Amino acid sequence: MNPSLSKFMLAHTPKSILNPTPTMTTSLPLNTGGSIPALGLGTWQSAPGEVKAAVIHAIEAGYRHIDCAHCYQNEDEVGAALKEVFERGIVKREDVFVTSKLWCTDHTRVEEGLDRSLKALGLQYLDLYLMHWPVPMNPNGNHPLFPKLPDGSRDIDHSLTHIQTWQNLEALASSSPSPKVKAIGVANYSVKYLTKLLEKAKIVPAVNQIENHPYLPQQEVVDFCKEKGIHVTAYSPFGSTGSPMMKEEKVQEVAKKHSVGAGTVLLSYHLARGSSVIPKSVTPSRIDENRKLISLDDEDMQKLEALHKEKGVTRFVYPPFGIDLGFSDKPGGMDLSG
Ligand SMILES: NC(=O)c1ccc[n+]([C@@H]2O[C@H](COP(=O)([O-])OP(=O)(O)OC[C@H]3O[C@@H](n4cnc5c(N)ncnc54)[C@H](OP(=O)(O)O)[C@@H]3O)[C@@H](O)[C@H]2O)c1
C-alpha cells in the first residue's frame, strides 16, 4: 500500500479500533495455544466464611478467572463455590479459568500437591498450575506450610532445586491420556531464576505470576517474559491490603482524567502492559467495581511509571525466605538458583 495512504488511514482510524477498551474477559494468549482471561479474582487472605460468597458473586458478576493456591488454606471453600455455580448452571467448568499453585513444602511430591488442590477445588483438571515460589521447603518440618529450623530461619530443602521441581511439573503437564493441568507456569521468578530454568526446561512456562504495580513495575522481568513468550500475571495490583497506592496523587490524577476510580487505573495499567491481573476482594461492591477496565494512553502510563522512579521499589508481600531470589543487586543470603 502507498505509505502516505496507510499513514492517512492510520491517522483516521478511530482510537477504539486501534486500541480497543479491554474487558474483564478479554482473552490474552498463552504459549500453549490457549488463553487466559484478563481479569481474575484473587483469593489470598479471603477468610473462610467469606471466600465462597466472594467467588459466587464474582462468577455471577461475569468473572471467568479465579486465582487459588493450596497455601491460601481456603481451596475447599472455593471448591464449594465452584460446585454451586456449576450446579446452578451459571457457568460450565470449561468457561472458568482456574489457577492453583504448588506450595514450597510439596516440591518433592508435585503430583500429591496437585491432587490435593484438585480434590479441594472439586475439579478434574486445572487450567494453570504454578510453582508458587522457586524455594523447596522441608516437607517433614515443624509446620506443614512454613517450617522453621530451631534458630528461627526457614527450613529450606536442599535435596533438590527448583529446576527439578519444574521437570516434575513438566511430567505432569505431558502425562497421558489427559493431563490434570492444561498449562504449567511459575510465580515470583526473577530474570536470574528464569534464565536458569530456561536452560533446562523442555516446556517454557506459560505464565510468570509476579507482584506487580506502579510501585514495583519489575520492567526487566516483564520485558524478559515478553521476549521468551511467557505471559505475566500481576498480583497485588493495589499493593495488597493496607497499601497507600490508591491514594497516590498521580493515580488520582489519571482516575480523574478518565472519570473512573483509582482501582480501575491500577488494574488497567496491567492491561496496557499486556498482562492479566488478579485483584482480591471479598466485598461485593468492590468485586463489581474491579470489573471496570479502560485503555490508558502514553501520558497516563508515563505518570504511573514516574511513581516508581520517585518512590523506589516497595515490595509488599515478599516473604522472608532469607535467600536471594535474584530480584535485587544487593547481596542476599543463600542463592538457590541452581
Ligand atoms: N503468586 C503469589 O506469590 C501471590 C502473592 C500474593 C498474591 N497473589 C494473588 O494475587 C491476589 C491479589 O493480591 P493481594 O490479595 O495481595 O492484594 P490486592 O488485590 O492488591 O489487594 C487486596 C486488598 O484490596 C482491597 N480492595 C479490593 N478491591 C478494592 C477496591 N476496589 N477499592 C478499595 N480496596 C479494594 C481488598 O479488600 P476487601 O477484600 O476487604 O474488599 C484487600 O484488602 C491474591 O489474592 C492472590 O490470589 C499471589
- The one-digit pLDDT tens for each residue of the chain (338 residues) are 677 777 776 677 655 555 678 888 899 999 999 999 999 999 999 988 999 999 999 999 999 999 999 999 999 999 999 999 999 999 999 999 999 999 999 999 999 999 999 999 999 999 999 999 999 999 999 999 999 999 988 999 999 999 999 999 999 999 887 899 999 999 999 999 999 999 999 999 999 999 999 999 999 999 999 999 999 999 999 998 888 999 999 999 999 999 999 999 999 999 999 999 999 999 999 999 999 999 999 999 999 999 988 876 666 666 667 777 877 655 556 677 66
Domain for residue 158, yes or no? yes
* 187 pocket-lining for ligand 1 (C-beta < 6 Å): yes
* Closest ligand 1 atom to Cα of 101: 1
Task: Name the closest-CA residue to atom 30, ligand 1.
Answer: 286
Residue 214 sits in a domain whose CATH number is 3.20.20.100
* 257 pocket-lining for ligand 1 (C-beta < 6 Å): no
Task: Name the closest-CA residue to atom 41, ligand 1.
Answer: 281
Domain for residue 8, yes or no? no
* 236 pocket-lining for ligand 1 (C-beta < 6 Å): yes
* 167 pocket-lining for ligand 1 (C-beta < 6 Å): no
Give 239 Cα–ligand 1 centroid separation in angstroms.
Answer: 8
* 282 pocket-lining for ligand 1 (C-beta < 6 Å): yes
The number of distinct structural domains making up the chain is 1
Predicted confidence at residue 82, as pLDDT, reads: 98
CA pair distance 74, 69, nearest whole angstrom: 8
Domain for residue 4, yes or no? no
Q: Which of 75, 193, 236 to mutate to test the pocket of ligand 1 (most atoms within 8 A of CB)?
A: 236
Q: Work out the angle at residue 42's Cα, subtended by the Cα atoms of residues 39 and 44, and round it to the nearest 5 degrees.
A: 165
Domain for residue 141, yes or no? yes
What is the 3-class SS of the chain, one letter each residue?
CCHHHHHHHHHHCCHHHHCCCCCCCCEEECCCCCEEECECEECCCCCCCCHHHHHHHHHHCCCCEEECCHHHCCHHHHHHHHHHHHHCCCCCHHHCEEEEEECHHHCCCHHHHHHHHHHHHCCCCECEEEECCCCCECCCCCCCCCCECCCCCECECCCCCHHHHHHHHHHHHCCCCCCCECCEEEECCCHHHHHHHHHHCCCCCCEEEEECECCECCHHHHHHHHHHCCEEEEECCCCCCCCCHHHCHHHHHHHHHHCCCHHHHHHHHHHHCCCEECCECCCHHHHHHCCCCCCCCHHHHHHHHHHHHHHCCCCCCCCCCCEECCCCCCCCCEECCC
Domain for residue 188, yes or no? yes
* 267 pocket-lining for ligand 1 (C-beta < 6 Å): no
Report, as residue numbers or ranges, the catalytic residues: 72
Q: Which of 281, 314, 317 to mutate to test the pocket of ligand 1 (most atoms within 8 A of CB)?
A: 281
Domain for residue 254, yes or no? no
Query: Domain containing 66: what range?
Result: 21-244+275-283
Domain for residue 50, yes or no? yes
Predicted confidence at residue 165, as pLDDT, reads: 98
End-to-end CA distance of the chain: 52
The answer to whether 158 is annotated as binding is no
pTM as predicted: 0.94
CA atoms within 13 A on the CB side of 199: 10
Predicted confidence at residue 313, as pLDDT, reads: 64
Domain for residue 292, yes or no? no
Predicted confidence at residue 309, as pLDDT, reads: 86
Give 217 Cα–ligand 1 centroid separation in angstroms.
Answer: 17
